[in-house]
């Protein structure tokens, strides 16, 4: 097909020529007598082109075109037949009754067929056949896989790869043929078909009875090995030992020279499989690393690089193991090929995050690349130098970066900025030059991602480098004067509201903030009003507060409702300190997941509608914690790291509130618990009652209701040839006066290794719901064990009763009755001065440090440590501040632990507890006692 000329494109002829309707109308050429191969090839090319650019054909249209092309099967033109198979393969997914052409395709893929389009027929058949027909064509595919013609072998291997998800059992039987294809030697001749009777050069001069025309030129690249290796791994991927053996057999020993693999792509694939095996099984790391180091000396640059990268990306790799791979990458840095330089600098940039000292050996070569004409190479070179350089080289590097920032794309600018951010945290004394660099690039042209990266870098400098705060805030104020991104303006205004009132001269920021009220859109104006209010509420200067009040009154006439409402709210709270503390100075917010669970339970409970929603039982978290939950995934440890390989993202663990919500939904489905009401609290993490290596594994989750406690036992059976029936857990209180009476046990009828885990419930009634029952319970798992018949997999009729002793289950204050909740300790401690309280002194002789004592107390009480007090600043004296929320309407509880440490006597603690109920105070004291 000839591409449309520029003139045709301008006049719209090309769009008409490649129009779906036009193509369908012109499909009449398939019915012409005689058939014109040239016209048919052109039309088939246009059909494939339309499918390629995303055009969709309806089922009827696709079916009409599909069966129109099948009429060309009788034509002897080889090029036309290749185009027919290409079109059939693409249309097969949409058209109906495509299976009808199976016999015609199979005729062209016979082993004695020596036509150029035999590989095309094999690929088309893969798309046409039903998975149930795979067994019927098995012998054709087996013969094609071991064919001496590499194009036929590759077509069969790739088709088998695509058939595997639908016909696993059939394709697995082709493993011997795939192994033979891996070990096959490349064809010795460049020309002609090796299947026999192909004739002489390009099919001319021979005595073949096959149709005349161009014959295939066999490839000498051994690409069939690459496809065969992919199929072998697909078949064996669930058997790690088989994969390891395959790698060792094909690896060629320590030198890598004995391998039968001649194709570089196949070797690269084998290296990736080796890297995956190392990640999954560290025990074979030594043997695999020896193979990887052997491949570092291969004649192909592609293989050298892949082996070097695999070593650099290994988990817990030692500096000694990196020497050879870094030497190979260093050679690539001086290569005349830009792609090798780019690959090497990119890999070294990632490695510099974890092993900067090892990469520092390449610094001289990397500095030579700063002026490389390929700016992508230069960017990664400078990024690596920023991570490996010393403090003395910072100013020189920053000067060199500034020169080419305008010449690179935003994507690489972000990498540079992130590297500078990590550098300024590494060398805080150089913050001035780096802040000047960041403020300079902030004024340059760029997209949102680039500007956000610069703003994030300045935010981190404000947070971690105190000396840079004033200068950084000034640069941000200048930026929002001409900022085109609403999100960034809002974030900067929020930061100014937090940090501005703490500065020596807070008044100088007011002008910049109020300018936003005058000049910006409604979203930014609302954020500016909130920022102004924080200056008024948090500043000790009366004149500043009066000025802010005047500015907020002007905002009452704003055209936007949100701006007016915020201004009115803040003007109101300025006059009343309790309101100002709650709405402006409050450092905590509700945990959104916990609040959502509370609202869902409130909406679902018809009886709750008579009372207003009680938010006192919803735990709070600090604003820093809330920001951390919503933060972007990158951290200071990983900034600037290129994505070296595609990995499956690890899902984040559910939060405590999300776990609670899931448990509540699970319990609501058990009919016996429908009258128990809402779940007040569930264990955040299940208690392990067995060792992880035992044949039966049991964990326990405790659910606290208003008048009941339910113990949920998650039981797993790891024995594949045994089934357990009538499972129950017998609980025995260690204290007769525990205040709990057992109601019933919901046993598990049957449990096998396939159906594991299963759940056994044990319910208790609280004799006095106002008291917080604590104590230990002995637990025994009882069941009937039955062997499985190895042939039928059915359990035997007769079994035997057995029991399994579990660890004790404890009901305690922390985790069962108290949940962490953030609070402003100073004001809350003073507010609860007149309420229930207690002060006790304890000696913890077993503790060898204040840090160990803090960790133990936080773990026992399960309360939120405040203000970073969980980390002692001194080795001898410390005060730990804790806040929590008691379940069942128990209200807030605060604890203050003043502690001293002396060698020999351990840690002495003065525990002060204040709560809204005396029962909670006694509960906390007894937990420590």
pLDDT digits (tens, 9 = 90+) for 95-135: 787 777 777 777 777 766 666 778 888 888 888 887 778 78
Q: Is residue 456 part of a domain?
A: no
Residue 608 has pLDDT above 80, yes or no: no
Per-residue pLDDT band at 14 (split at 50, 70, 90): low
Average pLDDT over residues 883-889: 79
Same domain, 771 and 917: no
Identify whether residues 842 and 807 lie together within a single domain.
no
Q: Answer yes or no: is 341 within a domain.
A: no
* Pair (570, 688) in one structural domain: no
State the CATH number of the domain containing residue 142: 1.25.10.10
| Pairing status of strand 681-682 against strand 696-704 | antiparallel
Please say which residue of 551, 575, 599 terminates a domain.
575
Mean pLDDT computed over 36-48 = 87
Domain span at 845: 814-927
> What are the start-end ranges of the H helices in 465-614?
469-480, 486-499, 510-519, 522-538, 542-555, 561-574, 577-583, 592-604
Asked whether residue 898 falls in the same domain as residue 784, the answer is: no
Instruction: Give burial (CB, 10 Å; 0-12/13-18/19+) of 5.
Output: exposed
Q: Is residue 822 domain-shared with residue 788, that is, in the same domain? A: no
Cis peptide before 34 (omega within 30 of 0): yes
Task: Of 682, 725, 732, give the one whose Cα is nearest residue 703.
Answer: 682
What are 490-531's pLDDT values in tens digits? 999 988 988 888 888 888 888 888 888 888 889 999 999 998
The answer as to whether 1 is a domain residue is no
Helix (H) or strand (E) holding 425: helix 410-426
Q: Which two tokens stand for residue 287?
A: 């043997």
Question: Do residues 804 and 881 both lie within one domain?
Answer: no
- Hey, how many other C-beta atoms are within 10 angstroms of the C-beta on 517? 22
Tally of CB atoms within 10 A around 702: 19
How do residues 363-386 score in pLDDT, each as one tens digit? 888 888 887 888 888 888 888 888
Distance, CA of 915 to CA of 910 (rounded, Å): 17
Q: Is the pLDDT of residue 171 over 60?
A: yes
Q: Both tokens of residue 688?
A: 């392990």
Q: Domain tally for the chain?
A: 4
Q: Quote the pLDDT of residue 204.
A: 37
Residue 881 belongs to what H/E stretch? strand 877-886
**In contact, 23 and 87? CB cutoff 8 Å:** no
pLDDT of the residue at 342: 93
Same domain, yes or no: 804 and 825: no
Span 117-127, pLDDT tens digits? 788 888 888 88
Residue 190, Cβ neighbours under 10 Å: how many? 10
Determine the pLDDT at residue 194.
40
Angle, in degrees to the nearest 10, between helices 78-91 and 37-52 = 30
pLDDT at 343: 92
* Residue 889 shares a structural domain with residue 819: yes
The reply to whether 518 and 542 lie within a common domain is yes
CA 468, distance to chain mean position in Å, is 34
Cα–Cα dist 728/782, whole Å = 5
Give the mean pLDDT of 153-177.
87
Domain match, 821 and 700 both: no
The terminus-to-terminus CA distance of the chain in angstroms comes to: 88
Q: Which residue has the tokens 């997999």?
A: 793
Separation CA 821–CA 825 (nearest Å):
11
Q: What is the model's pLDDT at position 207?
A: 39
Please state, rounded to an integer, the average pLDDT across all residues of the chain.
Answer: 79
Distance CA 176, CA 381 (A): 47
Q: Kindly tell me if the per-residue pLDDT of 198 is higher than 70.
A: no
More confident residue, 663 or 815: 663
> Is 467 among the domain residues?
no
If you write DSSP's letter for every residue of 435-478 in order, what string do you get? HHHHHHHHTS---HHHHHHHHHHHHHHHHH-GGGHHHHHHHHHH
Residues 707 and 785 in one domain: yes
Confidence of residue 638 (pLDDT cuts 50, 70, 90): very low
3 state DSSP class of 135: coil
Hey, what are 66's tokens? 């599909």
Task: Give the mean pLDDT of 158-166.
Answer: 86
* pLDDT on residue 851: 84
Q: What is the mean pLDDT of residues 198-221?
A: 46
Q: H-helix or E-strand containing 723?
A: strand 722-733
Q: Which of 254-263, 671-680, 875-884: highest mean pLDDT?
A: 875-884
Tokens at 124, concatenated: 């088309």
Tell me which range, 10-19, 371-380, 610-619, is most confidently predicted by mean pLDDT. Answer: 371-380
Residue 899 belongs to a domain with what CATH number?
3.30.310.10
Residue 600 predicted with pLDDT over 80: no
Q: pLDDT confidence of 340, banded at 50, 70, 90?
A: very high
CATH number for 702? 2.60.40.1480
Confidence at residue 863, expressed as pLDDT on a 0 to 100 scale = 84
> Residue 29 to residues 33, 75, 549, 919: CA-CA distances in angstroms?
9, 13, 82, 91
Radius of gyration of the chain (CA): 37
Query: What tokens does 110 get?
Result: 């016979």
907's torsion region: left (phi>0), alpha (psi -120 to 50) or beta? beta
Among 198-207, 553-562, 648-657, the range of highest mean pLDDT: 553-562
Q: What is the pLDDT of residue 586?
A: 62
In a domain, residue 641? The reply is: no
pLDDT digits (tens, 9 = 90+) for 553-577: 888 888 999 999 988 988 888 877 7
Q: What is the pLDDT of residue 255?
A: 58
Query: What is the SS3 assignment for 134?
Result: coil
pLDDT at 627: 62
State what percent of residues in the chain have pLDDT above 70: 86
Q: Which residues on neighbouring strands pair with residue 730, listed in sequence order?
A: 780
Q: Does the residue 312 lie in any domain?
A: no
pLDDT at 60 over 70: yes
Q: Distances from the Cα of 531 to the Cαs of 498, 502, 581, 624, in angstroms?
A: 8, 13, 15, 18
587, pLDDT greater than 50: yes
Strand partners, 886: 818, 891
pLDDT value of position 339: 92
* Residue of higher predicted confidence among 320 and 195: 320
146 inside domain: yes
For 811-833, write each residue's pLDDT tens digit. 877 767 788 887 777 778 888 88
SS3 658: helix
User: How far apart (Å, rounded) are the C-alpha atoms in residues 558 and 561?
Assistant: 8
Q: Domain ends where: 777, 811, 845?
A: 811
User: Is the same domain home to 748 and 663?
Assistant: yes
**Last residue of a domain, which of 575, 604, 619?**
575
Q: What are phi and psi of 749, to 5 degrees?
A: -60, -45
Give the phi and the psi of residue 840 in degrees, each rounded to 5.
Answer: -135, 155
This prediction's pTM: 0.59
Say yes or no to pLDDT of 764 above 70.
yes
Q: What is the pLDDT of residue 206?
A: 40
Q: Which of 390, 308, 320, 294 is nearest to 350 (CA)?
A: 308
Residue 770 lies in a domain: yes
Q: Report whether 272 contacts 306 (CB < 8 A).
A: yes
Q: What is the DSSP string of 767-835?
A: SSTTS---EEEEEEEEEEEEEBPTTT-PBPS--EEEEEEEEEEEE-IIIIIEEE----HHHHHHHTTTS
Q: pLDDT of 258-307, one tens digit each?
A: 677 888 898 899 999 998 988 888 788 888 888 888 888 888 899 999 99
Q: Are 181 and 157 in contact (CB under 8 A)?
A: yes
């Amino acid at each position: 097909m000839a591409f449309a000329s520029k003139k045709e494109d301008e006049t719209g002829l090309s769009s008409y020529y490649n129009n779906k309707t036009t193509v369908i109308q012109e499909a009449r050429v398939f019915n012409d007598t005689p058939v014109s191969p040239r016209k048919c090839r052109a039309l088939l090319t246009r059909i494939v082109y339309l499918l390629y650019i995303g055009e969709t054909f309806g089922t009827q249209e696709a079916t009409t075109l599909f069966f129109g092309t099948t009429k060309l099967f009788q034509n002897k033109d080889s090029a036309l037949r290749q185009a027919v198979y290409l079109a059939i393969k693409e249309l097969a997914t949409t058209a109906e009754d495509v299976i009808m052409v199976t016999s015609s395709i199979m005729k062209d893929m016979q082993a004695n067929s020596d036509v150029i389009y035999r590989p095309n027929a094999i690929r088309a058949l893969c798309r046409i056949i039903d998975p149930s027909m795979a067994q019927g064509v098995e012998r054709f595919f087996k013969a094609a896989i071991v064919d001496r013609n590499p194009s036929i072998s590759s077509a069969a291997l790739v088709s088998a790869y695509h058939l595997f998800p639908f016909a696993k059992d059939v394709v697995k039987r082709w493993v011997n043929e795939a192994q033979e294809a891996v070990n096959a030697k490349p064809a010795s001749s460049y020309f002609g078909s090796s299947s026999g009777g192909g004739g002489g050069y390009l099919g001319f001069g021979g005595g073949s009875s096959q149709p005349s025309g161009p014959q295939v030129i066999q490839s000498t690249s051994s690409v069939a090995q690459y496809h065969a290796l992919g199929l072998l791994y697909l078949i064996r991927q669930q058997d790690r030992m088989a994969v390891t053996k395959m790698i060792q057999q094909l690896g060629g020993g320590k030198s890598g020279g004995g391998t039968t693999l001649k194709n570089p792509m196949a070797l690269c694939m084998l290296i990736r499989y080796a890297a995956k095996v190392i990640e999954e099984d560290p025990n074979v790391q030594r043997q695999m690393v020896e193979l990887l180091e052997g491949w570092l000396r291969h004649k192909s640059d592609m293989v050298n690089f892949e082996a070097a990268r695999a070593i650099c990306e290994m988990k817990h790799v030692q500096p000694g193991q990196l020497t050879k791979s870094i030497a190979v990458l260093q050679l690539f840095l001086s290569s005349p090929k830009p792609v090798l330089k780019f690959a090497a600098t990119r890999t070294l940039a990632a490695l510099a995050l974890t092993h900067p000292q090892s990469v520092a050996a390449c610094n001289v070569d990397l500095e030579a690349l700063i002026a490389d004409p390929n700016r992508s190479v230069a960017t990664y070179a400078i990024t690596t130098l920023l991570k490996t350089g010393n403090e003395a080289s910072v100013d020189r590097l920053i000067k060199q970066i500034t020169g080419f920032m305008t010449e690179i794309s935003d994507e690489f600018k972000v990498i540079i900025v992130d590297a500078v951010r990590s550098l300024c945290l590494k060398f805080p004394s150089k913050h001035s030059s780096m802040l000047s660099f960041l403020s300079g690039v902030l004024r340059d042209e760029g997209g949102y991602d680039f500007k956000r990266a610069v703003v994030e870098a300045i935010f981190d400098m404000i947070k971690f480098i105190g000396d840079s705060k004033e200068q950084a805030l000034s640069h941000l104020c200048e930026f929002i004067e001409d900022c085109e991104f609403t999100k960034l303006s809002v974030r900067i205004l929020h930061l100014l509201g937090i940090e501005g009132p703490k500065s020596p001269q807070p008044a100088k920021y007011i002008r910049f903030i109020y300018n936003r009220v005058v000049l910006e859109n409604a979203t930014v104006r609302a954020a500016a009003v909130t920022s102004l209010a924080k200056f008024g509420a948090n500043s000790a200067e009366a004149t500043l507060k009066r000025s802010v009040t005047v500015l907020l009154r002007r905002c009452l006439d704003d055209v936007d409702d949100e701006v007016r409402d915020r201004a009115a709210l803040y003007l109101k709270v300025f006059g009343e300190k309790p309101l100002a503390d709650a709405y402006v100075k409050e450092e905590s917010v509700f945990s959104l997941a916990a609040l959502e669970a509370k609202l869902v339970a409130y909406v679902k409970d018809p009886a709750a509608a008579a009372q207003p929603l009680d938010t006192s039982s919803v735990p709070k978290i600090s604003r820093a914690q809330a920001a951390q939950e919503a933060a972007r995934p990158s951290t200071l440890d990983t900034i600037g790291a290129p994505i070296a390989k595609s990995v499956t993202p690890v899902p984040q663990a559910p939060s405590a509130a999300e776990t609670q919500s899931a448990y509540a939904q699970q319990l609501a489905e058990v009919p016996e618990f429908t009258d128990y009401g809402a779940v007040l609290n569930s264990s955040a993490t299940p208690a392990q009652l067995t060792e992880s290596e035992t044949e039966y594994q049991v964990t326990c989750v405790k659910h606290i209701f208003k008048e009941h406690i339910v113990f949920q036992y998650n039981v797993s059976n790891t024995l594949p040839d045994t089934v357990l029936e009538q499972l129950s857990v017998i609980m025995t209180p260690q204290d007769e006066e525990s205040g709990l009476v057992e109601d019933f046990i919901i046993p598990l009828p049957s449990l096998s290794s396939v159906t594991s885990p299963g759940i056994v419930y044990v319910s208790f009634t609280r004799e006095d719901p106002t008291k917080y029952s604590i104590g230990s319970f002995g637990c025994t798992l009882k069941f009937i064990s039955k062997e499985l018949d190895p042939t039928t997999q059915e359990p035997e009729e007769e079994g035997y009763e057995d029991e399994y002793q579990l660890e004790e289950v404890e009901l305690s204050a922390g985790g069962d009755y108290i949940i962490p909740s953030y609070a402003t300790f100073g004001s809350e401690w003073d507010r609860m001065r007149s309420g229930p309280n207690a002060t006790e002194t304890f000696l913890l002789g077993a503790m060898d440090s204040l840090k160990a004592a803090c960790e133990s107390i936080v773990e026992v009480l399960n309360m939120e440590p405040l203000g970073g007090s969980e980390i002692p600043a001194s080795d001898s004296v410390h005060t730990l501040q804790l806040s929590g929320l008691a379940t069942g309407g128990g209200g807030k509880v605060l604890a203050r632990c003043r502690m001293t440490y002396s060698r020999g006597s351990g840690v002495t603690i003065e525990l002060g507890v204040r709560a809204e109920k005396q029962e909670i105070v006694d509960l906390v004291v007894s937990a420590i006692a």
